[in-house]
Amino acid sequence: MATRSLAQEQRVSQWRRLLDRQRDVIVIYSILLGIVLIAAIALPEFRNPVNIFNVLRQGVALGIVSVGQTVAILVGGIDLSVGATISLVVVYAAGFMEQYTAWWMVLGMVIALLSLGLLIGFINANVITRLRVEPFIATLGMGAILQGMVLMYAKRPGGDIAPGWEYFAEGMIGPVPFPVIFLGGLVAVTWVLLGRTIWGRHIKATGGSEVIARLSGVVTNRITAYAYMFCSLMAALTGLYLTSRMGAGDPQVGGLQYGKFDLDSITAVLIGGTQLGGGKGGVIGTVAGVMIVSVLSNIFNLVGVNPWIQWIIKGLILLAAVAIYSVQQSDEG
Amino acid sequence: METIVEMHGITKTFPGVVALDDVTFQCKEGEVHAVVGENGAGKSTLMNLLAGVYQPDQGEILIDGELIEMASPHEAQEKGISIIYQELNLLPDMSISENVFLGRESIRRFGFLDDRDQDEKARELLHRLGIDIDPRTMLKRLSVPQQQMVEIAKALSLNARVVIMDEPSAALGGRDLDYLFEVIRTLKKQGIAVIYISHRLDEIFEIADRVTVFKDGHVVGTHAVADIDRPSLVRMMIGRSFSEAFPPRSTMAGEEILRIEGLRVGTRLKVDELVIRRGEIVGISGLVGSGRTELAQAIFGTRRMEAGIVWVSGEEIVLRNPRVAMRHKIGYLTEDRNAEGLVLGQTVTQNTALPSLKDRQRWGVIDRKTEREIVKVATEDVRLQAPSLTSDVETLSGGNRQKVVLAKWLISGPELLIFDEPTRGIDVGAKAEIWGLMRELAEQGKGLLMISSELLEIVGMSDRVYVMHLGVIVGELRGDQATEEEVMMLATYGEKHGD
């Protein structure tokens, strides 16, 4: 590489440039396609349209939270408090809607809980940038605090939802579930934010190298705060979605029993090609990562794989994804 | 030519060190001003003051005759001063234009980026430097010299009037260097002042108009390059002439310590015979890519041999891995001592003792007392100059870091030592010390294999020289008869057939 002459005219084709930017995305979608094809051929239950929409619907919660996680990882961090944030929003929302069901009360609640999400992200970011705590530890601690608050409020599943609230999860627009369209819109907006605005450019730059970005005049502390606030906002949104889906509030929804959203969202993002440590990646890859995680879960359930084996396989996939990308990384250098 | 920058009576101290003492420096429009001096002579400090990284304790900085203060690199950039560090400040996963305009993006309404406008501007800047690369190319696709051009383009985009280059040639060779010079001349024509920091004297005579020599935080002098010759420049830098820097050769070469026959590594490296005797320094010269380092790695067992027989002190061995090599008392001082030779952030003692830890532990607990004693002896042997043995190696100069690496190896009592670029990035005075140590080791009856890109070092140090070209040894010369020209001729042998 170093011997390539400078003066030499160098035309990189459009195709090559696209490949440069999107190679990981192309690879990950090929893998997704492969998994889906194999499952569709081997499992008649899998290719049933009802099941397909089920997979998509189940993927929405993970999808929303992973869109946020993508941004946190892209800025060079990680967010281990998303699971607890989800739980907190779920129990507060279900608890609130048990008492108040007027539409304007519910609207106020939505605004309040989304603001709570922003606040959590803001605190995370400031602990990281000003108190200089590693993102891993900062958000792990925040997650513990939030989970404590959840259990303080609700010891066991309970609460209720307002009439009409179930539309968020159960509504249909034509043949397509509303939540799938909602997630699609969210992905599109995030994609534009990351790829087409100065905000996204600076997030990637900060993740690529905080020092270089700062020396170039990027206010990296502020950018980091935006990224974590966005991530927690998405987690809060996931919580709202889950109350709609379950019709109640389960204090352990985000953490222990159902999805383990911390682990799953990080797995989805990293499988999707966003680089741990930041600077490279995006939501398009994350969508594929989410679908791979959801499709695999669905296949395991259809085949009847034990939950504990599923855990082991998930862990292995996460480690493999990171290992493959980092080996690839060092080969490039 | 107008003077752009003037620095008067600059003093800068760091805890325990006076880095600059009453220094005066100035630089004019459209000139290339070389800055030379040993490591720690103060040139980096001066440049960092000019780039706004540090602020002076005393003294004043004037730009266009106007007194200014620069509290940050950002302010320096606004005043028209850009610095290009050896470690380039670029993001690999972004395009050229994204890098050039980072923090100053072209924006339309609502924070939306105008990449087309930005790409166009970047293309223009590259064009001004005579480069035709698509500005949308990802940075990681570029070679190091191309990346340097991106940094220069970035400086141009900031309307820099002074561009400081900190050892820009360290990562370049041959044609790329010529290209850099061409770009520097282009900058000159546009009236930009280039401050060029380098260890390599040839470059200064080729590109610079004036040269300022630093020593121990003082300016020894500023001269027009046309009025000065190489020996006197070296004398200014080290206070003695260069040929005296090499220790005298010894004549006695003992029995064979290493013999290699029929070596094949990968598809390219083919060495039919290579011999190193006790008491001998054997130099290996060749251009980058000629297989020098691969050869060294094969001898140390970190690169697989496809074929070949190796004898160490007459015993035939299979160099399967570095542990086998070390058991047969072979040591290897790598080219990149910061990444591969030292644990930066640990102390001199910890670094020196690292490879021999298992010899001084009892039930897994390190015997600190013997550790200290052994390290003390080893570091005295290499005449290490460190504030203390508990200093972080990161605070040491290049020369002293190399001494720590050497001390580390000496504890294990090696018989054959491979030095890969032993004095790269080390200042002239410390080079002489390393050379002296190497000669001492040879006189103790050890065999030394020295890979070097510096012809002067090859010719000055080696008892015998093997010259490599495209993976093959193309010549063997006696060190006391070899000349730089002769070695260069052999190393570029076949160049005309294309490389």
Write out pLDDT tens, residues B293-335.
889 989 998 888 888 999 999 899 888 888 889 889 999 998 8
Query: Which residues are B197's β-sheet partners?
Result: B35, B166
CB contact, 8 Å: B453 with chain A?
no
Residue A235 or residue B357, greater confidence: A235
Give the per-residue SS3 of B387-400.
Answer: CCCCCEHHHCCHHH
DSSP B341: I
Q: Which of A53-57, A147-151, A220-224, B428-432 has the lowest mean pLDDT?
A: B428-432
What span, in angstroms and rounded, lies between the C-alpha atoms of B101 and A28? 31
The most confident of A127-136, B82-91, B392-401, B463-472, by mean pLDDT: A127-136
Return the structure tokens found at A329: 């990384």
In this predicted structure, what is the pLDDT of residue B464? 93
Is the Cβ pair B138, A21 closer than 8 Å? Answer: yes
Residue pLDDT, tens place only, A141-168: 999 999 899 888 877 777 888 888 889 9
DSSP B287: -
Is the Cβ pair B103, A218 closer than 8 Å? Answer: yes
Residue pLDDT, tens place only, A101-147: 899 999 999 999 999 999 999 999 999 999 999 999 999 999 999 98
* pLDDT class of B244 with cuts at 50, 70, 90: low
Asked whether residue B14 carries a pLDDT value surpassing 80, the answer given is no
Chain position carrying tokens 């108009």: B209
What span, in angstroms and rounded, lies between the C-alpha atoms of A245 and A57? 10
In this predicted structure, what is the pLDDT of residue A3? 38
Q: Where are the alpha helices (DSSP H) in chain A?
A: 14-42, 44-47, 49-74, 82-99, 103-129, 135-153, 167-170, 178-196, 198-208, 210-215, 220-246, 261-271, 283-303, 307-332
| Helix (H), strand (E) counts: chain B | 16, 22
In this predicted structure, what is the pLDDT of residue A220? 93
In this predicted structure, what is the pLDDT of residue B75? 86
User: What is the percentage of chain B residues whose pLDDT exceeds 70?
Assistant: 93
Distance from CA of A264 to the nearest CA of B (A): 26
Asked whether residue B245 carries a pLDDT value surpassing 50, the answer given is yes
Q: Which of A11, A212, A332 sits opposite B91 (nearest CB)?
A: A212
Asked whether residue B366 carries a pLDDT value surpassing 80, the answer given is no
Is the Cβ pair A17, B138 closer than 8 Å? Answer: yes
B17: phi then psi, degrees, rounded to nearest 5: -135, 135
B280-288: average pLDDT:
87
State whether the Cα torsion A39-A40-A46-A49 is positive or negative. Answer: positive
Judging contacts by C-beta atoms under 8 Å, the chain B residues touching residue A212 are 89-91, 102
CB contact, 8 Å: B254 with chain A?
no
In this predicted structure, what is the pLDDT of residue A232? 98
Strand B210-215 vs strand B218-224: parallel, antiparallel, or unpaired?
antiparallel
In this predicted structure, what is the pLDDT of residue B454? 78
Distance from CA of A324 to the nearest CA of B (A): 18
Judging contacts by C-beta atoms under 8 Å, the chain B residues touching residue A73 are none
Could you tell me if A241 and A168 are in contact, meaning their C-beta atoms sit under 8 angstroms apart?
A: yes
Q: Which of A46-55, A297-306, B364-373 has the lowest mean pLDDT?
A: B364-373
Q: Which of A4, A215, A332 sits opposite B89 (nearest CB)?
A: A215
Asked whether residue B232 carries a pLDDT value surpassing 60, the answer given is yes
In this predicted structure, what is the pLDDT of residue A258? 43
Residue pLDDT, tens place only, B268-279: 889 999 999 999
Closest A-chain CA to B105: A198
* pLDDT class of A7 with cuts at 50, 70, 90: very low
In this predicted structure, what is the pLDDT of residue B258? 93
In this predicted structure, what is the pLDDT of residue B493? 61
Beta-carbon contacts of residue A208 (< 8 Å; ≥ 6 apart): A76, A278, A279, A280, B91, B92, B93, B94
Share the mean pLDDT of chain A: 87
CB contact, 8 Å: B120 with chain A?
no
Is the Cβ pair B134, A217 closer than 8 Å? Answer: no
Distance from CA of A126 to the nearest CA of B (A): 22
Residue pLDDT, tens place only, A80-104: 999 999 999 999 999 999 889 899 9
What span, in angstroms and rounded, lies between the C-alpha atoms of B51 and B80? 10
CB contact, 8 Å: B145 with chain A?
yes
Distance from CA of B173 to the nearest CA of A (A): 9
Task: Tell me which residue of B382, B326, B384, B386 sits closest to B356, measured CA to CA.
Answer: B326
What span, in angstroms and rounded, lies between the C-alpha atoms of B129 and A50? 61
Asked whether residue A305 carries a pLDDT value surpassing 70, the answer given is yes
One-letter amino acid for residue B374 of the chain: I
Residues in chain A: 333
Judging contacts by C-beta atoms under 8 Å, the chain A residues touching residue B73 are 215
Judging contacts by C-beta atoms under 8 Å, the chain A residues touching residue B287 are none
CB contact, 8 Å: B90 with chain A?
yes
One-letter amino acid for residue A287 of the chain: V
Distance from CA of B213 to the nearest CA of A (A): 29
Is the Cβ pair A12, B141 closer than 8 Å? Answer: yes
Asked whether residue B199 carries a pLDDT value surpassing 50, the answer given is yes
Return the structure tokens found at B399: 């020369």
Asked whether residue B495 carries a pLDDT value surpassing 50, the answer given is no
Q: Where are the alpha helices (DSSP H) in B70-194?
A: 73-78, 96-100, 115-128, 144-157, 174-189
User: What is the percentage of chain A residues whose pLDDT exceeds 90?
Assistant: 55
Kind and range of the H or E run holding B274: strand B269-277
- Other C-beta atoms closer than 10 Å to the C-beta of B24 total 13
What span, in angstroms and rounded, lies between the C-alpha atoms of A190 and A71? 9
Could you tell me if A177 and A53 are in contact, meaning their C-beta atoms sit under 8 angstroms apart?
A: yes
Q: Which of A2, A12, A198 sits opposite B143 (nearest CB)?
A: A2
What span, in angstroms and rounded, lies between the C-alpha atoms of A194 and B15? 44
**Distance of alpha carbon A100 from its chain centroid, rounded?**
30
Q: Which of B74, B134, B175 sits opposite A5 (nearest CB)?
A: B175
Residue pLDDT, tens place only, B249-262: 876 778 999 999 99
What span, in angstroms and rounded, lies between the C-alpha atoms of B153 and B457? 35
Asked whether residue B266 carries a pLDDT value surpassing 70, the answer given is yes
Is the Cβ pair A215, B143 closer than 8 Å? Answer: no
SS3 for B83? Answer: strand
In this predicted structure, what is the pLDDT of residue B36? 86
Task: Tell me which residue of B32, B74, B427 sits closest to A216, measured CA to CA.
Answer: B74
* pLDDT class of B97 with cuts at 50, 70, 90: very high
B384-388: average pLDDT:
82
SS3 for A330? Answer: helix
Return the structure tokens found at B102: 């980072």
* pLDDT class of B207 with cuts at 50, 70, 90: very high
Judging contacts by C-beta atoms under 8 Å, the chain A residues touching residue B149 are 6
Q: Which of A167-171, B12-16, B29-33 has the lowest mean pLDDT?
A: B12-16
Q: Which of A6, A20, A201 sits opposite B179 (nearest CB)?
A: A6
In this predicted structure, what is the pLDDT of residue B361? 67
Closest B-chain CA to A280: B93
Asked whether residue A8 carries a pLDDT value surpassing 60, the answer given is no
Distance from CA of A214 to the nearest CA of B (A): 8
A189-203: average pLDDT:
94
Interface of A with B (CB under 8 A): 1-7, 9-12, 17, 20-21, 196-199, 201-202, 204-205, 208-209, 211-213, 215-218, 275, 279-280, 332
Residue A327 or residue A251, greater confidence: A327
B81: phi then psi, degrees, rounded to nearest 5: -115, 120
Return the structure tokens found at B433: 């010390």
Q: Which of A10, A21, A204 sits opposite B133 (nearest CB)?
A: A10
Model pTM? 0.74
Task: Tell me which residue of A213, A248, A216, A260 sits closest to A62, measured CA to CA.
Answer: A260
